[in-house]
Amino acid sequence: MSPIITHTGDQQERWLRDYVHTKNAGAEFILPWAVDTFFQAIDGIKKTFTDAELKALLEAHKGLRLLPDHTRLSYLLLHIDTLCKTTDLHTRYGISHSSLETKLRRLDSTQTTALMVWASAFWLGSNCTAAGMDDYIR
């Protein structure tokens, strides 16, 4: 297995040392759990939102630099609301702003974070085109 370099803050590093003894042991312990949790959340999200809503959510994260403190539902709701009001994001994808907001409000914190990471990650890939969106949301 190839090594994974982790970038953690001081607080996370202290936690890993206190509970798992080393940063590497902590990464080996937590990473598989985090990946499984992420993909379970994404599977549920893909069943909750329509294809058009998922595409709008991807579009909403284009050029967005995602920071850990911004992976909160309140931030996501404000961001989507602003884009709907200023750029008619919902109209471009033929979706209801209020329906999208209602679905977003039902997300828990893990789902919210997973959605935002998933949507932001699309724009880091090599296939970030309109056609690529169709493949990505499947």
Q: Say if residue 3's pLDDT is above 90.
A: no
pLDDT of residue 4: 64
> Which three-class secondary structure state does DSSP give residue 79?
helix
Predicted model pTM? 0.85
Q: Say if residue 36's pLDDT is above 80.
A: yes
Q: Say if residue 20's pLDDT is above 90.
A: no
pLDDT of residue 5: 66
pLDDT of residue 74: 96
Tell me the CA end-to-end span of the chain in Å, nearest whole number: 29
Q: Please, are residues 125 and 132 in contact by the beta-carbon 8 Å criterion?
A: yes
- Map out the domains of the chain as residue ranges: 10-137
What's the half-sphere exposure (Cβ side, CA atoms, 13 Å) at 119? 25
